[in-house]
Chains A and B, each alone.
Chain A
């Protein structure tokens, strides 16, 4: 579903992505792992077209994303730090997104998370008054709202309380079973154990490896993802 070919991106003298190639298919749940500043968020932003790559190209569903925008209607994106217009209330932000996506039809919307996060009583609160965690909940609810085929979650559980992050994890698992492609970045590896089927490990903007979780545990002899990755990092 996503094919990235030789993608490079520089910010001034800093190389964020260096000849990065990767293929992601439907029905996979992929963990994007790497040290800070290894280009994970940049890669995600290039898929979304928020960052324009210097060379190489990315196709989503067989369509080159350059100069295209329709493909984004298939993507649900949860940013690392959700930033929303300060003066709008939660309800207004949700309504605006529905309006912009042109999906007013209630049946097509997936409002599970709004209900399970208990956002409904907060609908009239302005975005600037929200705590970091509530903001994350809004981001998550927005990402899942339009039933996208592709979910991109950048540090989804950062800032969420244990109950909420459990709710979110269950939601991710149920979406995975529907055969959607899910991309997750996270530093809390223990949380990814029961979610992901594949691991992409990045370092300094390069792809180190892209393996299934079974292959990784065979190669490293570790069952837990956290330990397996720790071993990979030590061997470098």
Chain B
């Protein structure tokens, strides 16, 4: 498995898009930290961008990469390798590259300007989000045969996680404004790794007061160690569930 991962990582790191992504993250992070005199504020600004950019690049790049590796996969399948090994190598190769790009691009600036627990949390969340969206992308790619359709599905998924889901949550909030839905909101936020990530970081930053009563309920839950632990477990489930399903699909896929 290590051998195949090696070839995938080398191939991705040679890719110019990956280089551009790293550079873009770096310029962005440094300029945000440079503009704000308070680095905590800078972190907040960076958070909003990371929550949009990281999943988008991760999901679109991974989907396209899987489709472009069709020949490579075909070549490997006829060799003495397990299907699971091939798929896992692809996943690890993509994840390692995305995480590396994020750590260099956003990790270093955060280390320099805000090397406290909140900053570390932010890096950890960024890493987890990168990996989650690689897993989701691979699921989208294995389910659809057609390349254009697959990439479309990936973009729609991103749109859903980044925008549509929030709209849906707002809709529920307004519809059920008369009822105590705050606790239910915690459960609903588990269905979107982006929301979960956002809440986790915002609570670490002590700006939850801005979120009103819901913020207080969130604080009660996510502020505790159990809540934090549970949220991390949910984020891990967001990696392993799509990965498990796509591996199962790939094992019985005709090439």
Contacts and interface: CB of A to CB of B under 8 A. Distances in A.
Interface in B57-106: 69-72, 74-83
Interface residues of B, number: 23
B11 interface: yes
B50 to A, nearest CB: 30
A49 B72 contact: no
B80 A70 contact: yes
Contacts of B11: 85, 87
Contacts of A75: 78
Nearest to B254: A51
A52 B254 contact: yes
Interface string A66-80: 000111110101010
A99 interface: yes
Contacts of A72: 78-81
Contacts of A87: 11, 14
Interface in A67-110: 69-73, 75, 77, 79, 83-87, 96-97, 99-101
Contact of B80 (A79, A86, A101): A101
Interface string B1-43: 0011001000100100000000000000000000000000000
Contact of B254 (A50, A85, A97, A100): A50
A79 B255 CA distance: 12
B76 A100 contact: yes
A48 B4 CA distance: 19
Interface in B200-255: 252-255
Nearest to A92: B7
B78 A85 contact: no
B79 A97 contact: yes
A109 to B, nearest CB: 15
Nearest to A44: B78
Contact of B69 (A50, A71, A79, A85): A85
A85 B72 contact: yes
A50 B70 CA distance: 13
Nearest to A69: B82
B77 A49 contact: yes
A30 B253 CA distance: 28
Interface in A103-140: none
Contacts of B75: 83-85
Contacts of A49: 77-78, 83
Given A69-B82, A100-B3, 13 more contacts: A50-B255, A52-B253, A72-B81, A77-B78, A79-B78, A83-B71, A83-B74, A84-B75, A85-B71, A99-B3, A100-B4, A100-B76, A101-B79
17 contacts: A11-B254, A48-B77, A49-B78, A50-B77, A50-B255, A51-B254, A52-B253, A69-B81, A70-B80, A83-B75, A85-B69, A85-B71, A85-B75, A86-B71, A87-B14, A100-B79, A101-B79
